[in-house]
Amino acid sequence: MDQWGVVIAESHLAIHTWPEYKYAAVDVFTCGDT
């Protein structure tokens, strides 16, 4: 189960992949006043 994520300034982007199931999920979160 390989998972990875990237932090961008005041945001969070995570891409989770399960190649054995041919499935991927993307989570995007933002924080701050903008």
Active site residues: 11, 16, 31
Q: Sheet containing 3-8: which strands, arranged edge to edge?
A: 3-8, 11-18, 23-30
- CA dist 27 and 19 (Å) reads 17
- CA dist 19 and 32 (Å) reads 34
